[in-house]
């Protein structure tokens, strides 16, 4: 049984609840244990995962959050840099699933977060577990 850390940027609680339900459901269905921590925003997710990875307590990680486009360039920075940070961790050999939604509006986020619709939280958890399996295969 693997230990999976879910790192969430809890800005939109109702959307995060759905993403978390999907991620937790996928992890539990696969027979693994999970823990959840909260960070201020999506930009902090990669850093928190890097710190947690140093502890050696977790075998896989899932980043969860929602970034909705606003009126400024901030959306592009948060969307791009959080994804880049998670990809860098993956390239360094960590099993990381990216469940950070980057959407135009709340309606898009609702469809993607809902476990009964697109279930992006569950998909992110499954991606992390798939990478963990590959790590075991090639490690």
Query: Active-site positions?
Result: 74
67 is annotated as contributing to ligand binding = yes
3-class SS of residue 11 = coil
11 is annotated as contributing to ligand binding = yes
CA distance 136 to 96: 14
16 is annotated as contributing to ligand binding = no
69 is annotated as contributing to ligand binding = no
98 is annotated as contributing to ligand binding = yes
42 is annotated as contributing to ligand binding = yes
Which run of H or of E encompasses 67?
strand 60-68
Apex 41 CA angle, 116 and 17, nearest 5: 25
112 is annotated as contributing to ligand binding = yes
- Whether the CB-CB separation of 15 and 42 falls below 8 Å is answered with no
43 is annotated as contributing to ligand binding = yes
Which is nearest to 49 in space by CA: 66, 62, 40? Answer: 62
Give the single-character DSSP code of 44. G
Q: Which residues are annotated as a binding site for (2S)-2-hydroxy-3-oxobutyl phosphate?
A: 71-72, 112
Q: Which residues are annotated as a binding site for 5-amino-6-(D-ribitylamino)uracil?
A: 11, 42-44, 66-68, 98
Q: Which residues are annotated as a binding site?
A: 11, 42-44, 66-68, 71-72, 98, 112
């Amino acid at each position: 049984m693997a230990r999976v850390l879910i790192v969430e940027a809890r800005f939109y609680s109702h959307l995060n609840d759905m993403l978390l339900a999907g991620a937790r459901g996928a992890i539990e269905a696969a027979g693994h244990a999970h823990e959840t921590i909260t960070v201020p925003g999506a930009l902090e997710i990669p850093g928190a995962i890097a710190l947690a990875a140093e502890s050696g307590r977790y075998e896989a990680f899932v980043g969860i959050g929602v970034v909705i486009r606003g009126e400024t360039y901030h959306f592009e920075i948060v969307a791009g840099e959080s994804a880049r940070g998670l990809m860098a961790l993956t390239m360094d050999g960590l099993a990381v699933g990216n469940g950070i939604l980057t959407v135009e509006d709340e309606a898009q986020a609702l469809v993607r977060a809902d476990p009964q619709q697109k279930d992006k939280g569950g998909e992110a958890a499954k991606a992390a577990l798939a990478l963990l399996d590959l790590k075991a295969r090639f490690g």
